[in-house]
A and B are shown apart, each in its own frame.
Chain A
Amino acid sequence: MLGLAADRLRADMNRLLAFLFHQGILDEQFLQLQQLQDESSPNFVSEVVNIYFHESEKLLRSLRSLLMDREFSDYNKMGIHLNQFMGSSSSIGANRIRNVCVAFRAASEQNNRAGCLRALELLEHEYCFLKNKLHELFQIQQQRVLAAGVRYPMQNI
């Protein structure tokens, strides 16, 4: 019973990961990240990803406020934000977000406000999607850890 649950969780996780890879939402960098996680830092991935979420939300907020400003002209600052966003996204392997960032940056370099707004919408969408999926992933992972850790049969979810 116990083994079965663990197996299923593992299969679920793999399926989810496969989906994320297949859709191009994540790339191999995420695997690299996972490989960095070992006994000495068991929560490394979720830790990093949480930092990522935290930072990204800040960035998204400031991007939005920059764009919403009526006398908006500070494309330079936006570029810095976007570079940050891109850097952290590529670090965790969030491939699709990175791609959107590239487009966003291209739009900002051309001072194309409409394009920037569109890209921001897309970015927010992608970000939410990724966040949900990663939360899901971590949930499964947690359950797995629990299932592996506890000595008594875990109730099925």
Chain B
Amino acid sequence: MGPKLKQSYHHSVTVKVNEQMGTKRGYTFIQANRAWLPKFLLLWVMVMAFLSTWIYKKMDADNKVRRKEVLSSMCDQRARMLQDQFSVSVNHVHALAILVSTFHYYKDPSAIDQETFAEYTARTAFERPLLSGVAYAERVKHSEREKFERQHGWTIKTMKREPSPIRDEYAPVIFSQETVSYIESLDMMSGEEDRENILRARATGKAVLTSPFRLLGSHHLGVVLTFPVYKSKLPPKPSVEERIEATAGYLGGAFDVESLVENLLGQLAGNQAILVNVYDITNSSDHLIMYGHQNQDGDLALLHESKLDFGDPFRKHQMICRYHQKAPTSWTALTTAFLFFVICLLVGYILYGAAIHIVKVEDDFHEMQELMVRAEAADVAKSQFLATVSHEIRTPMNGILGMLALLLDTDLSSTQRDYAQTAQVCGKALITLINEVLDRAKIEAGKLELETVPFDLRSILDDVLSLFSEKSRNKGLELAVFVSDKVPEMVMGDPGRFRQIITNLVGNSVKFTERGHIFVKVHVAENPKPKDDAKAEIRLNGGSDEGALISGSRQFNTLSGYEAADERNSWDSFQHLVTAEALRNDASEKMTVAGEASRSVTLMVSVEDTGIGIPLIAQDRVFTPFMQADSSTSRNYGGTGIGLSITKCLVELMGGHISFISRPQVGSTFSFTTVFGRCKKASHSDTKKSNAEDLPSGFRGLKAIVVDGKPVRAAVTRYHLKRLGMLVEVANNVKIAASACGKNGSSCGSKIQPDIVLVEKDSWLSGEDGCLSLRMLDLKQNGHVFKLPKMILLATNITNAELEKAKAAGFADTTIMKPLRASMVAACLQQVLGTGKSLPGKGILNGSSVLGSLLCGKRILVVDDNMVNRRVAAGALKKFGAAVECAESGKAALKLLQLPHSFDACFMDIQMPEMDGFEATRRIRMLESQANEQMNGDTNKGSGKKDKWHLPILAMTADVILATYDECLKCGMDGYVSKPFEEENLYQAVAKFFKTKPISDS
């Protein structure tokens, strides 16, 4: 059974876990792709890097394009300007040429001489900003050389300032601007470039340029511009020969290109930024540089070429522009791209981090969930384990205890007996502990089911009290119980569990109390005053000092006079309760009507002690299992600390609530509420007999005086006497009681004539004992008194000497030892009043002797198909004196039970082949009812010997399940006993009808 159960349980746990797993399938997208997250991040970074590079490139390209555009526009601008300026100069030189031809050749004599020319050119020099100077060389043929030399008075010289060698033609400079006066008389034909220039110029008749060369005088690069001057007007379309023939001289000017360009560029903005080179590219394979350095650094990657047209179709010129510096790295683009990248990186990282976080949180969540499931499973498993193990331990423990019992039966030496007894006591303690653990485990596993049967609360409380009476008496404690009259006599609930709760609490109290009292009080919970309660609690739990200070000097109105933790139990409130009840008793009819109306009743039970109390620190873990106030507690007082937690569980199962108030060194009060069902009146009378111990009714109407200085204690005594149906008066001290008696004596019982006077030991000792006894004696001697009141002393513990003294003082009748219990009081009173013999004394009897007396002489039929069981059952019943007959099947039983028969009872096995117990019982009942009908017919004739046939049939069953029990009742059985027989069980079952029978007979 155990392993199977565990297995199925385990199965259920796994199912649960699986279910939990199932919920996990609801993964988020992130969770599902968790492995890809770093890759996603990498991809993102790569894409972003790519993107930012692209952005950079794009911006850079834009920049370059713009740069190039700027360069080309600048270059073109420069080229155009240069060209314009150049052509202006060329035009002017052209004009000069025309001037010379006009005024030198067409006029005779010539209107121009060196002086005029120099002046004119000097004054018009601003018109030719590009020309360093102009000069006019005349064409002189060799034949005319001498004439020419004579005319001018100087010889023709070559460029090297030597007299010119003989040539075909000469071109000596005759007019020159002052700036170039040094070339006067130099033969222009002697210079290579000039000569070529001259020849080309006179052939074309246009301005002609030389290739750049170093100019005379300045060492700047320059070109020489040459214009032909013709003697006569040329025909409209002259041939080359005609031109050559008509040539009179040449006008030339030197362009100092370098300085000119420099000037020109200087006028423009941004000349620093770019580098300008001007080339003569007439010879396409060998570019001659006109301006700028041949090997210049600068940005070689980017250049712009612009064509220059200086008006000489033979010569080609070109301008090349470059940036001075390499293109600067574009910081804007770089920064933009970089920032973009960084931002994207951060965004990516943030997303990644968030995803990782989500994954982590979800993981944690799932883990937690799993852990929770596991923890819950473990908790359940623990409870199951505890339940199983405790159960398994119980079996061998029973063996041990049984063997110890056997051992104790043998002859043992006193030491051995001592050992064995110790072992037995320990074993019993262990069993109790195991039972407690089992209880707790059962409660935790939710397996504990509460019964709902009617029971007498008062008798249970009395039982519990009697359990502890020995201990409390030894310690000198007052142990008392008080149940308010409003509490119904019978309530529906679980008596066993209620008893367990009370036993636990009272047991604890007894354990921890050395002086004072333990007081159990039960009343119906009314609407509490929460405010007052809360206030009281705060004060009581917190302010212990105040109370402790006063406690020395003050007598408290509690049961024993010691201070109690919860002052609500003291006389002030208690009196209130009692008087309220007294009032209500007058209107009791009303109350009961009102009370019956509600189905359930909530009871408030409090257990008050004046023990060591619970330390403030430990108060909040009192109900935690296995927690005691501190470790020293278990050393001093023993115990496991599981009791209170079970108590709490039980109370909560019963629909109540437990709380406590405790003050260290003052005491504790545990109070709890439970909800019980009310009993219906009908079921009342039936169950009462079996469940409650009957209190003798012989004291009904007797009058008693209780003499007690302590009102609470007096109330308790009164409560017990009232339960016996007595009328009770309370007197504060002996005097009052005596006077009451005295009055009675004189007035011959007009008022109350006490039958019994109960005197508390304390009151007796403190009061003037002589007085009372004297009065009593007086009364006796006078002989007026018809019935002397019986004197009874109430004491918790009494010494022999005191007892003697008491006897001497007139308490000859008896002494009742406390704690009071109604049944015990009844027994004592019987003894005193001498009515004991007439009343059926019960409650002393117990165990097998009772069973023997119940079964003795009865004829019992045992029906069982199993021979062994039959034999054992028969043996057991025989042992109790019954005459047993056996039947091995239902049919055989039916045969034996044909009416009339003489059997008193029948034990019937349920599981039998052919005809089972239920069926057999049904048939028996059928036979009986037939017979009864017949009898009813007979009664008319007047032969009413027996009223009815009804054979008590008890089922014997191995499994004691409620359902089986129900079925037993349904088919007409009267009860059941579990197999194998146990004495107690048998007794309980049999007692039901064998006990009730004589009563119903009588």
Contacts and interface: CB of A to CB of B under 8 A. Distances in A.
B865 A84 contact: yes
A31 B407 contact: no
Contacts of B410: 10, 14
B980 A29 contact: yes
Nearest to A93: B980
Contact of A14 (B407, B868, B911, B982): B407
Contact of B866 (A14, A37, A55): A55
Given A17-B406, A22-B399, A87-B866, A36 B958 contact: no
Nearest to B848: A35
Interface in A19-38: 21-22, 24, 27-29, 31-33, 36-38
Interface in B657-675: none
Contacts of B869: 87-88, 91
B701 interface: no
Interface residues of B, number: 30
A29 B603 CA distance: 41
Nearest to B913: A80
B713 interface: no
Given A18-B403, A87-B958, A91-B979, A55 B872 contact: no
B979 A51 contact: no
Contact of B981 (A24, A32, A47, A87): A32
Contact of B867 (A7, A41, A55, A86): A55
Given A28-B398, A51-B867, A91 B876 contact: no
Nearest to B398: A28
A122 interface: no
B879 interface: yes
Chain A interface: which size bin?
35 or more
A132 B4 CA distance: 31
B395 interface: yes
Interface in A79-110: 80, 83-84, 86-88, 90-93, 102, 106
B982 A48 contact: no
Contacts of A84: 865-866
Nearest to A86: B958
B878 to A, nearest CB: 7
A32 B982 contact: yes
Nearest to A29: B980
A91 B866 contact: yes
Interface in B411-432: 411
A127 interface: no
Interface in B963-983: 979-982
Contacts of A91: 866, 868-869, 872, 979-980
Nearest to A30: B402
Nearest to A84: B866
A92 B865 contact: no
A138 interface: no
A3 to B, nearest CB: 10
A22 B402 CA distance: 11
A155 interface: no
Contacts of A92: 868, 872
B871 interface: yes
Nearest to B872: A91
A28 B398 CA distance: 7
B313 interface: no
B878 A51 contact: no
B865 A90 contact: no
Of the listed residues B403, B866, B868, B979, the one surrounded by the most CB atoms of chain A closer than 10 A to its CB is B868
Interface string B624-655: 00000000000000000000000000000000
A156 interface: no
A91 B862 CA distance: 14
B555 to A, nearest CB: 54
Contacts of B868: 48, 51-52, 55, 87-88, 91-92
B280 to A, nearest CB: 119
Given A84-B865, A88-B866, A48 B958 contact: no
B1 interface: yes
A84 B979 CA distance: 13
Contacts of A54: 867
Q: Is the interface of A mostly helix, strand, loop or mixed?
A: helix
B867 A88 contact: yes
A36 B866 contact: no
B875 interface: yes
A77 B867 CA distance: 18
Contact of B980 (A24, A55, A90): A90
Contacts of A29: 980
B878 A41 contact: yes
B395 A24 contact: yes
A62 to B, nearest CB: 13
Contacts of B913: 80
B872 A48 contact: yes
Interface in B557-593: none
A36 B402 contact: no
Nearest to A88: B868
Contact of B871 (A17, A18, A48): A48
Nearest to B405: A31
Contacts of B865: 84
Nearest to A85: B866
A104 B1 CA distance: 12
A133 to B, nearest CB: 15
Given A40-B878, A80-B913, A27 B871 contact: no
A127 to B, nearest CB: 13
A38 B875 CA distance: 10
A33 B872 contact: yes
B861 to A, nearest CB: 18
Contacts of B406: 14, 17, 31
Interface string B947-958: 000000000001
A51 B871 CA distance: 9
Contacts of B876: 32, 36
Interface string B851-885: 00000000000000111110110011011000000
A80 B398 CA distance: 30
A14 to B, nearest CB: 6
A87 B956 CA distance: 11
A84 B867 CA distance: 9
A91 B979 CA distance: 7
A70 B911 CA distance: 29
Contacts of A27: 395, 398-399
Interface string A39-56: 011001001100110110
Interface string B389-412: 000000110110011001100110
B916 to A, nearest CB: 11
B85 to A, nearest CB: 122
A36 B875 contact: yes
B622 to A, nearest CB: 37
Contacts of B1: 102
Contacts of B407: 14
A36 B879 contact: yes
Given A27-B399, A48-B871, A92-B872, 8 more contacts: A21-B402, A27-B398, A31-B402, A32-B876, A51-B871, A55-B866, A87-B979, A92-B868
Interface of A: 7, 10, 14, 17-18, 21-22, 24, 27-29, 31-33, 36-38, 40-41, 44, 47-48, 51-52, 54-55, 80, 83-84, 86-88, 90-93, 102, 106
Interface of B: 1, 4, 395-396, 398-399, 402-403, 406-407, 410-411, 865-869, 871-872, 875-876, 878-879, 911, 913, 958, 979-982
- 10 smallest A-B Cβ distances: which pairs? A88-B868, A21-B399, A36-B875, A52-B868, A91-B872, A87-B866, A91-B869, A29-B980, A48-B871, A88-B866
